[in-house]
Amino acid sequence: EPEVTQTPSHQVTQMGQEVILRCVPISNHLYFYWYRQILGQKVEFLVSFYNNEISEKSEIFDDQFSVERPDGSNFTLKIRSTKLEDSAMYFCASSEFLPQALTNYGYTFGSGTRLTVV
């Protein structure tokens, strides 16, 4: 079964440092997403990406965050200057939805990167 893969599985970083979280979405998927889940809280949307540009972003996704699809397979989330409150599990997801069509898949999530900012 196709998978979304994320690396690293766990990253510890010092406050103020830049981090890059990496994701390889499912190859025929068109839409890519980042979500995060702070420990004990609900999963929250960060950003969606389609056709090489951001299609929507949440209030959480401020100027410190950026996304990129540098080579047609990887999808990265960069946090420029991490804060303590950025500590969370970050999930990448992809879907093959087109705006006018639905499949039976839903979104496929990666296994997540646990980011710990100290």
Partner 1 sequence: EDKVVQSPLSLVVHEGDTVTLNCSYEVTNFRSLLWYKQEKKAPTFLFMLTSSGIEKKSGRLSSILDKKELFSILNITATQTGDSAVYLCAVDNTDKLIFGTGTRLQVFP
Given the complex with partner 1, which of 44 and 69 has the nearer CB atom? 44
How many residues appear in the chain? 118
Least distance from partner 1 to the Cβ atom of residue 41, Å: 8
CA dihedral angle for residue 35, residue 108, residue 33, residue 71, rounded to 10 degrees: 130
CA dihedral angle for residue 46, residue 51, residue 55, residue 57, rounded to 10 degrees: 20
Given the complex with partner 1, which of 65 and 107 has the nearer CB atom? 107
Given the complex with partner 1, which of 78 and 105 has the nearer CB atom? 105
Least distance from partner 1 to the Cβ atom of residue 81, Å: 25
Given the complex with partner 1, which of 14 and 52 has the nearer CB atom? 52
What's the angle, vertex CA 32, arms to CA 20 and CA 37, rounded to 5? 60
For partner 1, the binding residues (CB under 8 A) are 33, 35, 41-45, 48, 55-56, 58, 89, 91, 93, 99, 102, 104-112
Please give the single-letter amino acid code of residue 39.
L
Least distance from partner 1 to the Cβ atom of residue 11, Å: 14
Least distance from partner 1 to the Cβ atom of residue 48, Å: 6
d(CA 8, CA 10): 5
Distance of CA 55 to the CA centre of its chain: 14
